Every structure is written in structure tokens, then in C-alpha cells.
């Protein structure tokens, strides 16, 4: 299955990977500042995903991508966003534990 050239999901994937690495580093080094960064990065992922979805809908309307690959693409984007949400939730829980 192929996607149209400028889909942008790679940027979202890279941002989720960055969030994962920040979270792991914060956990391993007990670095609260790193854990606090996760919220900002997750917000950036949400904004990026919103932009990617809008761009995707425009490509669909213009016939620049196939509907089946569009469904798969939308699923990938959804799961990237959820992964960012879950990683951010872990950082929030760790920060809450540190308060006690």
C-alpha cells in the first residue's frame, strides 16, 4: 500500500518517538523537568495530527489518494495520537507520584 507523497505522518511518528525518548529519559534519571516536557510535546502532536487530518481530507477531496489507503492512513494517525496521549498519561502519573 502506498500513500501520497506529502502525507506528513512521518513527522507525527518522529514526534511520538521523541516523546517516548523524553519519557524514558525522565523515568530512568528521575528527571522531573523531562517528565514535565511531555505535556508540551503531546500538545504539539495533537496540533500536528489535526493539521495532517485536514491535509488528508483535502487530498481525498481532490482525488490525490485512494480511499482504501486513506482509511489505513487515518487509522495510523489515530493510533499515533493515542500513543502520544498514553505516553503523556504515564508522565502525569509519575509526576503525581513524585508529589507524595
Residue 100's pLDDT is: 60
pLDDT at res. 1: 56
What value does the mean pLDDT of the chain take? 89
In the chain, where the domains are located: 14-24+66-93
Instruction: Look up residue 25 and give its three cell numbers.
Output: 529519559
- Read off the C-alpha cell for 10: 512521518
Q: What is the pTM of this model?
A: 0.86
pLDDT at 7 over 70: no
pLDDT of 4 strictly over 70:
no
Which one, of 75, 71, 80, lies nearest residue 14 by Cα?
Answer: 80
pLDDT tens per residue, range 73-87: 889 999 999 999 999
pLDDT tens-place string over residues 42-71: 999 999 999 999 998 898 889 888 888 888
Amino acid at each position: 500500500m502506498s500513500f501520497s507523497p506529502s502525507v506528513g505522518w512521518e513527522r507525527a511518528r518522529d514526534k511520538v518517538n521523541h516523546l517516548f525518548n523524553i519519557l524514558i529519559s525522565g523515568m530512568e534519571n528521575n528527571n522531573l523537568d523531562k517528565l514535565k516536557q511531555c505535556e508540551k510535546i503531546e500538545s504539539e502532536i495533537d496540533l500536528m495530527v489535526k493539521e495532517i487530518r485536514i491535509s488528508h481530507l483535502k487530498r481525498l477531496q481532490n482525488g490525490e489518494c485512494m480511499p482504501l489507503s486513506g482509511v489505513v492512513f487515518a487509522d495510523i494517525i489515530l493510533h499515533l495520537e493515542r500513543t502520544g496521549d498514553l505516553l503523556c498519561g504515564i508522565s502525569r502519573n509519575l509526576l503525581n507520584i513524585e508529589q507524595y
